[in-house]
Chains A and B, each alone.
Chain A
Amino acid sequence: MRCEHFRNIINEYIEGSLGDAMRDQAQAHLNRCEACQRELRFMQSIWRGLSTAPAVKPPADLHARIMTHVRANTRVRQAQQRVAFWRWAGAVAMAAGLFGMGFLAARSDGVQAAFGFGSSRPPAAEMPAPVPAGVFVVYRATEEGLRLPVLEARMNRAAAAELHYVPEAGLGKPMLVWKGTLQPSKTVEIPLRTLLQYSKERVLTLRWSVDGLDRVLYIPAGYPPAKIASVRLQAKLSDALRQLASVYQTPIEWVPNCAEPLVVLDVRDATLEDALRQLLIGTTYTLKRHGEAWRVMPQQ
């Protein structure tokens, strides 16, 4: 055997995968060739060095980073599928001579209850005046032990109000959920149970309008809330808020002021408050606690 041949089979030699005859030939060559002995030592040392590579320690937030990435991107996919579904549903409704809410109401009793026009709930018990005005998200325990969000709306004057569900992560055609008139010192309760059962979205996008002024409510479908999470995102403000509502399983209310900036966020092991404060730096929005929700509103 010549040096060149030995160099060609040196890896198999080290590995021990040569046949007997070939191995004996290689051995014989090695016994008389110092250069190939050197080469063998070099190559063996490389093999050894590779197999003793240190174990890699993953970062503490690896799981959170993975799940955030997966959730953020599968939501987009689900939203796209939903767009496809609503196009299909729209076509079916048109073909059947139905349209809009009529079609939806026809689907099931539960849906009808939730989407019927003007089906205002009787106002709850009298509240002592004065009361804070606005719409509040509260969680109520059910008989089955679930905690479900309920909207409580109250005003210090009479005002016409409407609640719309905007499907497809806020991109779809708004559907009327509730419509009525708010009276001073009376609280209107709007349960969201049927809507949550109906929608498969992780975060419901609702639009609450009083006297033509809109605010957006992001209500997560799951419970309980996450206290601390790691989030990295770059998105329009509304998308970022929806994402945070999903990650932290906490409702977020947004009072838009025309400007919807592009925001960037990269926080590790942060609370929702920290994440939101970080998010709003450099924007014209400010943050306030609002019942069980966080409210993002224009700076005064």
Chain B
Amino acid sequence: MHTYDYSSDEALIERFKEGDELAFDLLVRRYEQKVYQLAYRLTNNPDDAADVAAEAFLRMYNSLKRFRGDAQLSTWLYRVVSNVFFDFRKRESRHQHLPLELPSDDGDEPMELPIEDESVDIVGHALHEEQKRVLMEAIQKLPDYQRVMVTLFHLEERPYEEIAQILGLPLGTIKSRLNRARNALRRLLEPYRELFEVETSPTVGQAQEASDAL
């Protein structure tokens, strides 16, 4: 009589390799939220995100038998989602001829901000929401590869080493390309500078020292 161990990824993968479909179902349940979140952040559309997630798990089903466990399953899944996303965008661009280049500066006019004598909290909240909206829009305008990198590092908070594994590139390349992506994002956000400069509260990393020194 077998006792089935469904606790770890490794155990589930082993069970699946032996033909246990329930193990696959459990793996999907374990990772579907993560996978969907990344897919949503890349596609910015709930339907597209669900399609990308479903296709990613189909690819997992088809290749899990060959999974050797060199990387974490989550890392491997991030890689699959990224690849599905690239394919998805290629297909999309064939159909719709979307501009994949950075848009020129004569795009949207920056929004007029209602900084009047209203309650500080409300304005602060509205600013914050507006900032998020503008940021997410700017990410969507990045070229696909930069979008994936920025999303993995800043939104999904994956370390450089893992991103290098996900995209199959050397660490140095990841760091330099990420900087290029950040600078591209900064250029896209230039028209909204005011929106980002008003807030001066918490700081990141060494910047604390910088503001102390000012």
* Partner-B contacts on A (CB < 8 A): 11, 13-16, 18, 23, 27, 30-31, 37-38, 40-56, 58-59, 62-63, 65-70, 73-74, 77
Contact = CB atoms under 8 A, between A and B. Distances in A.
A65 B155 contact: no
B206 A13 contact: yes
Contacts of A37: 210, 214
Contacts of B29: 63
A65 B50 contact: yes
Contacts of B157: 51
Contacts of B207: 13-14, 40, 44
Contact of A59 (B50, B62, B203, B205): B50
A49 B214 contact: no
Interface of A is mostly: helix
B42 to A, nearest CB: 11
A30 B197 CA distance: 17
29 contacts: A11-B179, A11-B182, A13-B205, A13-B206, A14-B206, A27-B209, A30-B214, A37-B210, A42-B186, A42-B196, A43-B186, A44-B203, A44-B204, A45-B131, A45-B196, A45-B199, A46-B182, A47-B154, A47-B204, A48-B199, A49-B135, A49-B196, A50-B154, A51-B154, A51-B155, A54-B132, A66-B50, A68-B54, A69-B57
B41 A69 contact: no
A13 B136 CA distance: 24
Given A40-B210, A53-B155, A63 B46 contact: no
B204 A14 contact: yes
Given A50-B135, A74-B62, A55 B37 contact: yes
B14 interface: no
B37 A58 contact: yes
Given A47-B204, A70-B54, A59 B46 contact: yes
Nearest to A48: B204
A67 B57 CA distance: 8
Interface of B: 24-25, 28-29, 32-33, 36-37, 40-41, 46, 49-50, 53-55, 57-58, 61-62, 131-132, 135-136, 150, 154-155, 157, 178-179, 182, 185-186, 189, 193, 196-197, 199-200, 202-207, 209-210, 213-214
A91 to B, nearest CB: 27
Contacts of B155: 50-51, 53
Given A50-B155, A51-B154, A41 B200 contact: yes
B202 A58 contact: no
A52 B214 CA distance: 26
A157 B156 CA distance: 70
A58 B31 CA distance: 12
Contact of A62 (B32, B41, B131, B150): B32
